Chain A
Amino acid sequence: MADPFQHQQLAGREGGGGNRGSDDCLDELIDRLRGIRRTLCSLIAKVDEKRPATWPEILNCLAECVSQLSALHRTLRNEKQLRLNDFALLPIGLSPQLDQHLLNHTEGRLGLLNHDSVPHYLRTKLDLSVEHRRNEFQKSSTNIEAQPRTSEQMRKAAETALNSLKQARPDFENEQSERNQTMRSNEQDTAKLLLAINFGIGLN
């Protein structure tokens, strides 16, 4: 994952502190990235635990990740004050010395801002090997599309599966909700709670 601190660090060097709007905006992005990292950490912790995590726990964790990522996406898209794309980042000072300040800011991940690390952090294109693999994938996907008969068959199979799922869905949902609701909630309690807040009955 790209390091949010690095961004701020370089922007700070480049813009002499930056203006207020961009600072706020970067702060918000940093906050969001922190949130995502926290969720990922807890996910990893859950997976690594000796007692295996249950599916609902993992799914909940993933759902949280998805919502955080989409929130981040929204922020990046709707950025009115600051368009990060328009920013040029220039590393002004490279040094082979260990930089304590930088080390603190990156929580110990990056201590040297030198000729080796800067290209990785300022990369705007994919790594050559990654790009190569992506091209391969794209090629193979166009190959699939180029065969209309196969895709037609796939489509038919998918439609059949979808239809049978659709037919089974109401039954499944009824069964599911009946089974869950008997366990997870109690109609009498609902009525009792509503009587209490609506009419004050049952309060002592």
Chain B
Amino acid sequence: QQQQRVPNTEVYLQGSVLKPFTEFLLTRLRGICDSPGDEFRDQESVFTCARHRLRLRWSLLHPHLPAYLRYLGIPESADHRVMSRAAYEVPVFPLDAARQLVEAMGFQHEFDFIAEGTVFRRGLLKVTVYRVRRLLGAESSLVEVSGLGPSSLTAGMVESVLSVRDQLKSLVLLAKHDQKAPKA
């Protein structure tokens, strides 16, 4: 029973929008979402251990907020219309202790990136439009529509994700992107 309440499943779709059209997309999102959109600039450290990854993410704009430690499972497409994956998210504080904990668990730091953009909320869903800093040659913003919740709510969230996709169809193509790790 407890298991049914823990938010452990994430359903999502991704796409990207070229720089000149980002403002169109943001205006449309302001229209269809509950919140007017919040700016964010987050840094994310990724740690790895035997093909598992842990992601530690914290806000650079609001350093007093707790960081988030996330585990993301392997993407699968049980529902053929959206991607889904297991996802666990816990707030951790302070940051240094979290980093030490992750390293003590045997994870090694792999890479860091900074994401900068806007986040919107619509019901249980989160819509993010952001650029990845220090990435050469990509002038686009990544667009992500995702819902994280207990598996009992997954069916409803799939429908909402699809409805957002349809409403944004003329501006951005949100699709399933199942990326495999390139072989080294």
Question: Which residues of A are in contact with B by a Cβ distance under 8 Å?
Answer: 56-57, 60, 63-64, 66-67, 71, 173, 176-177, 180-181, 183-186, 189-204
Contacts and interface: CB of A to CB of B under 8 A. Distances in A.
Nearest to A176: B170
A71 B123 CA distance: 13
B28 A200 contact: no
Interface of B: 14-18, 21, 24, 27-28, 30-34, 44, 46, 110-113, 115, 132, 134-140, 142, 169-173, 177, 179, 181-182
Contacts of B137: 192, 202
B138 A192 contact: yes
Given A56-B24, A197-B132, A203-B134, A67 B16 contact: no
Contacts of A176: 170
B110 A200 contact: yes
Contacts, number: 104
Contact of A181 (B113, B173, B177): B173
A189 to B, nearest CB: 4
Given A200-B46, A203-B111, A204-B136, 9 more contacts: A67-B31, A180-B171, A184-B18, A190-B15, A193-B135, A194-B142, A194-B177, A196-B135, A202-B138
Nearest to B178: A194
Nearest to A68: B31
A197 B16 CA distance: 13
A202 B136 CA distance: 7
A135 to B, nearest CB: 36
Contacts of B169: 173, 177
Contact of B140 (A71, A173, A183, A185): A185
Contacts of B138: 189, 192-193, 196, 202
B173 A177 contact: yes
A194 B14 contact: yes
Given A193-B16, A200-B110, A67 B139 contact: no
Contacts of B142: 190, 193-194, 197
A180 B15 CA distance: 14
A191 B135 CA distance: 12
B44 to A, nearest CB: 8
Nearest to B27: A60
A190 to B, nearest CB: 4
A184 B17 contact: yes
B32 A67 contact: yes
Nearest to A35: B36
A191 B173 CA distance: 13
A199 B184 CA distance: 12
Most buried by B among A57, A66, A183, A190: A190
A195 B179 contact: yes
Given A189-B18, A189-B139, A193-B135, A180 B170 contact: yes
A196 B111 CA distance: 10
Contacts of B27: 57, 60, 64
